[in-house]
Amino acid sequence: MTPARLTSLFNERVDDLLRFAAISESDLPIYALVAPHNDEFPEKRNYAYCSWDGSEVRIVFSPKILKASKARADALIRHELAHALMMSEEKEHTERETDALAEEVWGDPIYYDKDDVQTLDKRKATTRLRPSYLPNPRPNPRSKSRFDERCGFDVAEWEGKTEARQRLQRLGIPRLTKMVAKRVEEAGFTPSVKKGDTKWGKGSAYIDVWIGKPWTPRNTRDIGEYIGTIRVSDHPQPPGGSFYRGDRVEADHSIDPSGATVEEVVAWLGEQADEWSDEIVTASSTVPNPARP
């Protein structure tokens, strides 16, 4: 499924929906885009979600849809457009009711395949109706989708976050990490930079903020005061909006497309500097060379 074919299919299905509802494009503006990454689609079966703000519909697709068969992509598009119509009419509805409307609009049954994803291909189907064990909420028409609630992602801010991501990628994590570490030093603290998470396949780093000497494998006794950790990354925070590894919190702030800005982190450092001013003055005479990234 090429982007051009996906666009053509989506536009065709939008026209079908508008004819069914006897409304014009101006009555129900529908915008769609394919996300540049899968961070907002953590599960295998997560392919798309729909949002209605009272004036327009936005549908965001996972990049996975470009690798989907036409039968799967078409079924997903129909399902999301059925959501769009019921949301615009302020109708509360379940996922099964959404499938039922899609079947009424287009006249084809929607099945679910081995991955619990919608499909029009009966040969790929493992069940006729949406499995009962899948989430089947009755959402408020204007509430965020379950993906929004899970990831803390607001569709209306998508463009801004995408631009922020691109700026971070252009700047590069090593350079940005050095910039933030310098701000840490300027606030009177000692930065200790460590390599970030790699399971997401993207760049990130963590900056531990210390008063005095930081903990290192070679320094386990003469340790200063740990203040907190700053995450620097070119991708949004993990689904769920937290930074954990086991029971240990890994970051107090995250500078990323959906997280804190450098200015917010600098403000936090200023607050910490005021709170720990006496300790910083004492430690400054014992730390000749703060750690640098």
Q: Is the pLDDT of residue 23 over 60?
A: yes
Q: Binning pLDDT at 50, 70 and 90, where does residue 202 land? A: low
Write the pLDDT tens digit of every residue in 115-163: 999 999 999 999 988 888 887 655 444 443 333 333 333 444 444 555 6
Same domain, 43 and 170: no
In this prediction, residues 20-42 reach a mean pLDDT of 86
Residue 158 lies in a domain: no
Q: Binning pLDDT at 50, 70 and 90, where does residue 246 land? A: very low
Write the pLDDT tens digit of every residue in 85-125: 999 888 888 888 999 999 999 999 999 999 999 999 999 99
Sheet of strand 118-119: strand arrangement: 118-119, 111-113, 125-127
Residue 107 lies in a domain: yes
Same domain, 254 and 179: yes
CA distance 27 to 19: 12
Whole-number pLDDT of residue 81: 95
Query: DSSP strand E in the chain: where?
Result: 30-34, 48-52, 57-61, 111-113, 118-119, 125-127, 190-195, 204-211, 225-233, 244-245, 248-249, 253-255
Same domain, 148 and 167: no
Torsion of CA 238, 183, 159, 147, to 10 degrees: 20
Same domain, 30 and 113: yes
Whole-number pLDDT of residue 199: 40
Rg (C-alpha) for the chain, rounded Å, is 24
Same domain, 147 and 168: no
Same domain, 71 and 195: no
Q: Binning pLDDT at 50, 70 and 90, where does residue 250 land? A: low
Whole-number pLDDT of residue 105: 93
Same domain, 118 and 236: no
The total number of structural domains in the chain stands at 2
- The residue out of 153, 184, 218 marking a domain boundary is 153
Closest CA to 121 of 112, 130, 129: 112
Same domain, 108 and 225: no
Contact yes or no for 258/199 (Cβ under 8 A): no
Q: Which residue has the tokens 């240990």?
A: 248
Contact yes or no for 103/118 (Cβ under 8 A): no
Q: Is the pLDDT of residue 261 over 50?
A: yes
Residue 122: Cβ within 10 Å count: 11
Same domain, 115 and 194: no
Residue 290 lies in a domain: no
Whole-number pLDDT of residue 219: 64
Whole-number pLDDT of residue 288: 42
Which residues constitute the domain of residue 14? 3-153
Whole-model pTM: value is 0.50
Q: Binning pLDDT at 50, 70 and 90, where does residue 16 land? A: very high
Same domain, 59 and 142: yes
Whole-number pLDDT of residue 68: 93
Handedness of CA 158, 164, 170, 176 (dihedral sign): negative
Write the pLDDT tens digit of every residue in 276-291: 777 766 655 444 443 3
In this prediction, residues 74-83 reach a mean pLDDT of 95
Same domain, 168 and 136: no
Q: Which of 15-24, 53-62, 249-258 has the lowest mean pLDDT?
A: 249-258
Residue 292 lies in a domain: no
Contact yes or no for 137/95 (Cβ under 8 A): yes
